[in-house]
Structure 1
Amino acid sequence: MVRDLYMFSKVDPEADVVWFKINYENTLHSEADITAFFADKDLDIRFAYLDSSEDPSKGKYVMFTEAKKGRDIKSIAEELEKKDIVLGLDWGYSKNRVIQSVDFPLHILGDRAVMIRAKTFVNFLNVLNEHVPQSEGLLTIVGLRNGEGAARYLRGVTEMDDSNFLELLKELLMAAGWGILDYDMDVDELKGSARIRESFIAGEYEDSDTPVCGYISGFLAGYISESLGKVVQVRETRCESMGDVLCEHIISPVPEGAKIEHLLRGGSN
């Protein structure tokens, strides 16, 4: 099972790692026809992904395979490119046997993105905590802005309302590797809790006496507030870094007349 977005192929160290990026016309049988083509050529798919998010009438098929050294891949590519459904084709050799699942540049939620390890993110947090006054409040504000942006993007690309906005968030957090979300919220009273298991921040922190996921609290507050059009505040009360089984973020309405930025600055934990 592929678990890393970037890895080195070790199946057959004597073979060449070859990649194909196929732009195709999105018909009922397009993906199956392309997969069958590689099977006919005795090219096993080591890693592949499909993407038709930009234009439903077109698709992109990225595939990595291993081929015996000296095999005529160019002729195979030329034959594939002649298929009626194929609109464009790039291919090449991965000289260092690298298999990766993204194009460059990478885009997430409509904007350019980069991938970093959770440990790297936590290193940033530690440096800020050591050298920047009120760093926790600052990070919470950054999370707030990013949560608002995520909600605006999702609203633009899919149906989102009071009944499913938290389910969309649950899928987003899992896909991004942030954690596994469970929640209980009264959208009329603006009260509830968001519980996250395997938090990417708490999981990389050493033992702590206080909650450490202020950035996530801010993200949740921004996302929920933007989704509902009503301002909420979010405060982390339990954290895996403190030995708790999960991280719990309490959701509550902002007092009338108060600004969420003032409530969050330095006061999320």
Structure 2
Amino acid sequence: MVRDLYMFSRVNEEADVIWFKVAYENTVHSEADITSFFAEKGLDIRFAYLDSSEDPTKGKYVMFTEAEKGRDIGSIAEELEKMDVVLSVKWGYSKNRAIQSVDFPLQLLGKRAVIIRAKTFVDIINIMNEQVPQSEGLLTMIGIRNGAGAARYMQEMVEMNDDNFLGLLGELLMAAGWGKIEYDINIFELTGIVRMKDSFLADEYGESDVPVCVYISAFLAGYISECLKKTVQVRESKCKSMGDEVCEHVISAAPSGVKIEHLLRGELH
């Protein structure tokens, strides 16, 4: 939700909004000990998140709180840093009372990322459609490459198998704001359907006579092909922009002998 990504604290407009970034040793009680410390100091957590994705032996605890103006936060930070599990502490004031859920630079799937509005993404697609010959093929190649790359990264981070790879994809797409998926796929016959509710492309694109989620179809093709090590094709058969209730992506096996790298080169039409 947008408010969880970036919001303004209005709980006590006479207090200071303060952030802490705590690096800690990842033990079974680290997070609880740090949370208890803040509670003992009377610092209510307005927003917080944990991250240990970069190094499982270490973690990062980011917390936003409010404190009465003039309170000695420096001494609290020094005391926090002396805890056995704490490696380092950074803190500061949010002058504009902003609370955000991301660090700078933002990381997504192991790479630097930026947040853009769905409208900006759709504007890019529209300009490509107007100015670039065979723009749909280009979008397909980009989507396949991105989907395959996402699958490879997730395979490094978590244990993926035939039973959970689509569930993990669903969590990823929902967290990224793309939409919510339901799926019915036969992984042995390489056939099935992925339905996406509230596709960000279809919602922002508006009315259309043809399906508009080509990039998402291609992303699904790249992701599924990489996970199964078998090449699939994906096409959008229904689209919310055409008046359908949900966007529907049909999965089928690629012709015999076609590999994912052939799709990346645009050799399959």
Is contact 1:145-1:219 (8 Å) kept? Answer: yes
Alignment match, 2:60: 60
Alignment match, 1:103: 103
Question: CA deviation digits over 1:50-108, x for unaligned, max 9?
Answer: 11122222211000011111111111111111111111000001111111111111111
| Separation of aligned partners in 1, 2:123 and 2:139 | 13
Q: TM-score, normalised by structure 1?
A: 0.93
CA apart distance, 1:3:
3.5
| Separation of aligned partners in 2, 1:207 and 1:13 | 43
Amino acid of the structure 2 residue aligned with 1:228:
L
CA apart distance, 1:257:
4.4
Q: TM-score, normalised by structure 2?
A: 0.93
Alignment match, 2:74: 74
Alignment match, 1:267: none
Amino acid of the structure 1 residue aligned with 2:132:
V
| Separation of aligned partners in 1, 2:187 and 2:53 | 30
CA apart distance, 1:263:
3.3
Q: Does residue 263 of the first structure (1) align with residue 268 of the second (2)?
A: yes
Point out the more displaced range, 204-213 or 126-135.
126-135
Alignment match, 1:51: 51
SS in structure 2 opposite 1:156? helix
Alignment of 1:217-232 (within 5 A): 217-232=217-232
Alignment match, 1:140: 140
Question: CA deviation digits over 1:202-236, x for unaligned, max 9?
Answer: 11112111110000010001111111111111000
SS in structure 1 opposite 2:122? helix
| Separation of aligned partners in 2, 1:234 and 1:242 | 18
CA apart distance, 1:2:
7.4
| Separation of aligned partners in 2, 1:41 and 1:222 | 50
Alignment match, 2:3: 3
Amino acid of the structure 1 residue aligned with 2:98:
V
SS in structure 2 opposite 1:76? helix
Distance 1:257 1:83, change over 3 A: closer
| Separation of aligned partners in 2, 1:52 and 1:233 | 35
SS in structure 2 opposite 1:244? coil
Q: Report the RMSD for the aligned CA atoms in angstroms.
A: 1.5
Is contact 1:151-1:223 (8 Å) kept? Answer: yes
Is contact 1:137-1:214 (8 Å) kept? Answer: no
What stretches of structure 1 of length at least 5 have no aligned partner?
265-269
Q: Does residue 22 of the first structure (1) align with residue 22 of the second (2)?
A: yes
Alignment match, 2:185: 185
Point out the more displaced range, 172-181 or 127-136.
127-136
Is contact 1:7-1:100 (8 Å) kept? Answer: yes
Point out the more displaced range, 8-17 or 203-212.
8-17
Amino acid of the structure 2 residue aligned with 1:164:
N
SS in structure 2 opposite 1:141? helix
Amino acid of the structure 2 residue aligned with 1:125:
I
Is contact 1:233-1:263 (8 Å) kept? Answer: no
Is contact 1:234-1:252 (8 Å) kept? Answer: yes
Point out the more displaced range, 87-96 or 9-18.
9-18
Question: CA deviation digits over 1:142-161, x for unaligned, max 9?
Answer: 00000110111111122112
SS in structure 2 opposite 1:245? coil
| Separation of aligned partners in 2, 1:114 and 1:126 | 20
Question: CA deviation digits over 1:101-156, x for unaligned, max 9?
Answer: 11111111111111112121112112212222221221111000001101111111
| Separation of aligned partners in 2, 1:262 and 1:213 | 21
Point out the more displaced range, 211-220 or 53-62.
53-62
CA apart distance, 1:163:
2.3
